[in-house]
Amino acid sequence: MKRRPYHNPRWLRKELRKYGSLAMVCRVHGFPEATVAGYLSRHPEVRAEVEDLIQTSRFPVRAQPRDGKQIRLAGLKRYKKAWTVNELQAQGLPFYWDHAWLLEQFRKLRSLEAMGKKYGYKPQTLRRYISRQPELAQQIWALREEMQTERAPLLLHLPPALARELEAAAEEAGSQREVIARAIEREAQKASPRLKARGQAAG
């Protein structure tokens, strides 16, 4: 099959931006619109790259149901279900579409709040995305249960009030090790004046 310019999504995006509609692009370059539309229907990976420009050309500017970026993202989601971080970065898409990456970061950072803070995503956006992916939601839930189990042996040997304080702090900080380090630091700060007083008394 002879390669045509509209087989290249970059070329097609540039021409759609220039002329405003698929019909006008076809008219200017002498391509039958039905031929180009048929090619796009057989190649969803190409259509996904230009879906936003094709869709927006059908509506008046003030009556567009969604902006171009949303339409493009929806098209890419329909076309491709599994992504890698490198692919997402190349497309300018959110990294959390790579479920393996999301699970790995959740395991490391231990909360969606910590992930959002590190990578610039709103926690509610992450929660909403996860809620729409049943399998991913189950995996996140299993990780949370696993992390709760890891904390349990430590908390069982502490006074109830301190255990509750550490558990709440662990949720906020997203890391049990950080919480333990803070607790040790607090105890050291409390002990420091007493040690100084003893040293002065001994002197």
Give the end of a domain, one of 62, 80, 98. 80
Domain assignment of residue 57, yes or no: yes
Amino acid at 164: R
Domain tally, the chain: 2
Amino acid at 1: M
Domain assignment of residue 56, yes or no: yes
pLDDT of 66 strictly over 50: no
Domain assignment of residue 22, yes or no: yes
Give the end of a domain, one of 80, 109, 131. 80
Q: Is the overall model pTM greater than 0.75, yes or no?
A: no
Domain assignment of residue 94, yes or no: no
Domain assignment of residue 96, yes or no: no
pLDDT in tens, 150-190: 655 554 555 666 656 666 666 665 545 555 656 666 766 77
Q: Which two tokens stand for residue 23?
A: 């019909």
Domain assignment of residue 4, yes or no: yes
pLDDT in tens, 71-112: 556 556 555 567 788 888 877 788 888 899 999 999 998 889
pLDDT of 5 strictly over 60: yes
Domain assignment of residue 3, yes or no: yes
Q: DSSP class of residue 67?
A: -
Residue entry with tokens 């996904």:
48
Q: Exposed, middle or buried, 129 (CB in 10 Å: 0-12/13-18/19+)?
A: middle
Give the end of a domain, one of 23, 45, 80. 80
Residues of the domain holding 57: 1-80
Q: What is the 3-state secondary structure (H, E, C) of 101-144?
A: HHHHHHHHHCCHHHHHHHHCCCHHHHHHHHHCCHHHHHHHHHHH
Domain assignment of residue 144, yes or no: no
